[in-house]
Chains A and B, each alone.
Chain A
Amino acid sequence: MLGTSVTWGDITFMMTGAGLTLAITFWAMLGGTLLGIVFGLIRSHSPWYVNYPMGAVLDVLRSVPLLIQFILFNSFQSIAGWGMNPFVVGCVVLAAYTSAFCTEIVRGGIQAVPVTTRRAARSLGMNWAQDMAYIVLPLGTRVMLPSWIGLTLGVMKDTALVYAIGVIELLRSSQIIITRKPHEALLILAIAGLIYFIVSFPVSRLGAHLEKKWREND
């Protein structure tokens, strides 16, 4: 290909890695978002003695390198004899990590809705769930969605670190090929970068677009 020693086999190998990157991103975002919504609701509606400890625990996830979280949990599950495969370990750790960020996004979204607006809803006879569904959710989404899209992009980039526990995702597959064909390092990295870019650029543009559009309407 292109007069180089990079073969279609190599490209396919990288594409398989890219597939894994997307799969881990998907599961981590799914798990992380669900947990984040639950945690976010708890944090914005609970007294301080629940809220503070919960915040502190989630803060630990944000203050320790993700790489180390992968290694730690992987080693812990093997000590405990759970026998999880590296892919599952990757998804679980990344989902927990994601939930810490998602919790703050959800909390921010709820806080962004003025108390007066919510009081107005309640004074019209809406109950808590109705207030949440018809007032807080639509208004909060405007604040949350752009951040959530940003989080998705961040998580996709962070999947690169599952390398540490032996999952061969896009970057690890690139690195393997580079080790075999060091003279093609530039080309291989360019291909890997391009794949990341093709996936994340449109998404980040969408996020920026939504943010701008909603700001203009305010």
Chain B
Amino acid sequence: MLNINYTFHWNQAFQALPQMIDGALITLQIAVLSMIIGIAIGVPLALAKQSSIAPLRWFANVWIEVARNTPALFQVYMIYFGIPAVLQLVAGLFGIDFRALGINIFYLDSYWAVLVGIAFNNAGYLAETFRGGLRAVPATQTRAARSLGFGAFDAFRLIVLPQMFRAVFHPMTNQMVWAILMTSVGIFVGLNIDLTGVTQELNARTFRTFEFFALAAAIYYVIAKIVTGGARLIAWRLFRY
């Protein structure tokens, strides 16, 4: 069954390791930035979903449902193709025709498309995480804090928030790993500086697909393990109870 007429050239792949590590750093950069944006948007989105103002609720619902029910690649495409299209549409309303001006913008820069697309995805998933976190702290905790004379804000800050943080910490770690793995879809919008992109460029030059991508897989695995291991360490230090 296994009759391989192929010589593996691992050396070639290992020589490219520094380039691939540089790519991995870009991957991490995109993932970290997309998480920061995702958290910053996810919190208000979670609150908006519980809001009594209907349009706010609809907006949050649409965002969360699209983020959770469509492929991440679709969301990156929406940013990549969609934002320039919307820009042209808006410009068209003001009577500006980009094509007549000799400007052709059909795509957003791939780095930004991936970053914004994944941030969009993170925000949708994290909004649900935060909603769960809010529910994880019983109302009686607030009541107990208020009965000791804490004001509403202090009760939230000192009693509810720390407990909420514990409830969302693990799902947030998972989302971070997800974000790292998701960045690989950048290859479909021409991103060539992240780990997958760099690997693909090397592959295109050498046709050593298996060796290069196997090494890339190993690097992704190591990064994922460092993130989960680090998170476990932080959780162990932070949540002693």
Interface residues of A (CB under 8 A from B): 60, 63-69, 71-72, 75-76, 79-81, 153, 157-161, 163-164, 171, 174-175, 178, 182-183, 185-186, 189, 192-193, 196-197, 200-201, 204
Number of A-B contacts (CB under 8 A): 115
CA distance A174 to B82 in the complex (A): 13
Give the Cβ gap from A53 to chain B, nearest Cβ, in Å: 16
9 of the cross-chain contacts (CB-CB < 8 Å) are: A72-B217, A157-B74, A160-B73, A164-B187, A182-B81, A185-B106, A186-B82, A189-B74, A196-B69
Does B91 reach chain A (CB closer than 8 Å)?
A: no
B residues less than 8 Å from A66 (CB atoms)? 181
Are B220 and A68 within 8 A (Cβ)? yes
A201 to B217, CA, bound (A): 32
* A200 and B74 within 8 A (CB): no
Contacts of B68 in A (CB 8 A): 204
Which residues from A are CB-within-8-Å of B78?
A: 189, 193
B77 partner residues in chain A, CB cutoff 8 A = 171, 174-175, 189
Candidates B4, B182, B213; contact of A68 at CB < 8 Å: B213
Tell whether B65 is near chain A: CB-to-CB under 8 Å: yes
Contact call A157/B221, Cβ cutoff below 8 A: no
Best-buried of A65, A66, A161, A196 by chain B (most CB within 10 Å): A65
Establish whether residues B4 and A186, one from each chain, have CB atoms under 8 Å apart when the complex forms. no
**Are B214 and A161 interface neighbours, CB within 8 A?**
no
- In the complex, which residues of chain A have a beta carbon less than 8 angstroms from the beta carbon of B85? 183, 185-186
* Cα(A80)–Cα(B4), bound, Å: 5
Given contacts A67-B185, A185-B82, contact A171 B217 (CB under 8 A): no
B221 engages A64 (CB within 8 Å): yes
Beta-carbon nearest neighbor of B73 in chain A: A160
**Interchain CB contact under 8 A, B210 and A76:** yes
On chain B, the residues within 8 Å of A192 by CB distance are: 74
Please tell me if B66 contacts chain A, counting CB pairs below 8 Å. Answer: yes
Given contacts A64-B217, A67-B187, 15 further A-B contacts (CB under 8 A): A64-B181, A65-B181, A65-B196, A75-B210, A76-B210, A79-B6, A81-B5, A157-B74, A175-B77, A185-B84, A186-B82, A189-B82, A193-B70, A197-B70, A201-B65
In the bound complex, residues from chain B placing their C-beta under 8 Å from that of A161 are 71, 73, 185
* Chain B positions 216 through 231: 1 when the CB is less than 8 Å from some CB of chain A, otherwise 0: 1100110011000000
Complex contact B69–A204 (CB within 8 A): yes
Within 8 A of A (CB), among B195-225: 196, 209-210, 213-214, 216-217, 220-221, 224-225
Output the residue of B70, B72, B86, B225 with the most chain A CB within 10 A.
B70
Confirm or deny: B93 has a beta carbon within 8 angstroms of a beta carbon on chain A. no
Which residues does chain B contribute within 8 Å of A79, judged by CB atoms? Answer: 4, 6, 210
Q: Is B177 an interface residue (CB 8 A)?
A: yes
Chain B's nearest CB lies how many Å from the CB of A84? 13
Q: List the A side residues contacting B66 at CB < 8 Å.
A: 193, 197
Q: How far is the CB of B36 from the nearest CB of chain A, in Å?
A: 21
> Within residues 110 to 155 of chain B, which ones have a CB less than 8 A from any CB in chain A?
none
Neighbour of B69 across the interface among A64, A69, A201, CB < 8 A:
A201
The answer to whether A189 and B71 have CB atoms under 8 Å apart is no
| Whole-angstrom CA separation of A36 from B221 in the bound complex | 21
Contact status B210-A196, CB under 8 Å: no
> Which of A159, A164, A183, A186 has the most chain B CB atoms closer than 10 A to its own CB?
A186
Residues of A within 8 A of B106 (CB): 182, 185
Complex contacts, A160 vs chain B, CB 8 Å: 71-74
Contact of B213 among A72, A174, A178 (CB under 8 A): A72
Distance of A100 from chain B, by nearest CB (Å): 13
Cβ of A186: which chain B residues have Cβ within 8 Å of it? 81-82, 85-86, 89
